[in-house]
Chains A and B, each alone.
Chain A
Amino acid sequence: MVKNSLIFIVLIGFAVLLADLFVGFNGNTDLNILANHYAVSGPEEVGSANLVTAVVVTYRGLDTLGEVTILFLAAAIVSFLLKVEAGASRNRKLRSTSEILDTASRILVPVIFLFGIYVFINGHLSPGGGFQGGAIIASGLVLMLLAQPAKEVGHKLITLVESISGISFVLIGVAGVLFAAGFLDNKLLPLGTFGTIFSAGVIPVIYIFVGLKVGAELSGIITNLHENQNEA
């Protein structure tokens, strides 16, 4: 009890801290210079209709690379930690699912995959992007694994997709240094016509790789967790 009240006091202190932080916050009425630059010049400089995508993939491309790396790291750690010894997965006892779920999933999963691909291909045009698309792909996988617990997903494939897309992302970045103005420069490819699918320079390309990679990474995490489900 004493401990909890102490924690409560500390929380109040923390709340005061946050209150101090935001006490002057009254909502923005206008964009700051940076945001304004993005909003005004973004379409011309990057050619992406989705300004968030422009920021994410080009202006702050290094962050994105980091982000992808974090997911990659997480996937690697998860796969390292949860590596199932060969043969151990055979002994898992899993409850079988209903026929309806099974059938529905068989129909739905490809659709979800397709939707995911749509989302990351159109990342520079509409809401969405590589991460979102990848997450959707992974959610399809979750559905598949929930509906068909016994199904084994090839780790090899996942790794391959992951590695190839990752390397491609890095290579694009390096190509920016070599052939354009800097690392991850968007102008490696022509900007194309604003608002069409083949526009915004390398953004769609990057987003495809990001999408694949995120999808693969999340899938990797999920499969690893899944395979550990009933273990021991």
Chain B
Amino acid sequence: MENLNLEIITLITGVILVLIGIWGLLTQKNLIKIVIGFTLFDTGIHIIMVSIGYVKNRTAPIIDQSVNINDVGNSVVDPVPQALVLTAIVIGLGVTALMLTYVLKMYQKRKSLEINNYNDLKW
């Protein structure tokens, strides 16, 4: 259990979230719940990303009082995944907003949130 570091815990959490998200995507019949599944999946990925950028016992990559300006390379965590996750979050937000909008529109047209009711197009 000595391996069980912070980053590994978060990583596993992320993976589990991803799996739960997929489970939700694949099993839930309600459109809103499917979207929620997606956000879980997305969030899981973000957590994974952040975990990967973590370096043991270091602080956020912002040069302030807690960081030695001359030894930044050894005192901050990797800024790149953080930058990436920022982008990813925004993208996820956009996608989620879109999904919800579509769901709203579909609901307005057919008054149903059941995904099985939207299979007119097939084969």
Contact A131 B86 (CB under 8 A): yes
If the complex has contacts A11-B22, A27-B5, are A39 and B72 also in contact, measured as CB distance less than 8 A? yes
A35 and B98 in contact (CB under 8 A), knowing A22-B11, A28-B54? no
Which residue of A is nearest B95, CB measured?
Answer: A74
Interface centre among A19, A43, A51 (most CB of B within 10 A): A51
Q: Which of B61, B74, B83, B102 contacts A81 (CB 8 A)?
A: B102
Contacts of B15 in A (CB 8 A): 15, 18-19, 22
State in angstroms the CA–CA spacing of A25 and B97 once bound together: 33
Which of B22, B56, B63, B100 is in CB contact (< 8 Å) with A27? B56
Task: Report the Cα distance A70→B96, complex, angstroms.
Answer: 12
Chain B minimum-CB-distance residue to A43: B63
Interface residues on A, range: 35 or more
Which chain B residue shows the least CB distance to A30?
A: B55
Contacts of A35 in B (CB 8 A): 53, 78-80
**Interface assignment of A152: CB less than 8 Å from any CB of chain B:** no
Closest to B48 in A: A22
Q: How far is the CB of A78 from chain B (nearest CB, A)?
A: 5
Query: Is residue A55 contacting chain B, with contact meaning CB distance below 8 A?
Result: yes
In the assembled complex, 19 residue pairs joining A and B whose CB atoms fall closer than 8 Å, in A order, are A11-B23, A27-B5, A28-B54, A28-B55, A31-B55, A31-B73, A43-B72, A51-B72, A54-B79, A55-B80, A56-B86, A63-B87, A64-B87, A67-B91, A70-B90, A74-B97, A81-B102, A82-B101, A224-B101
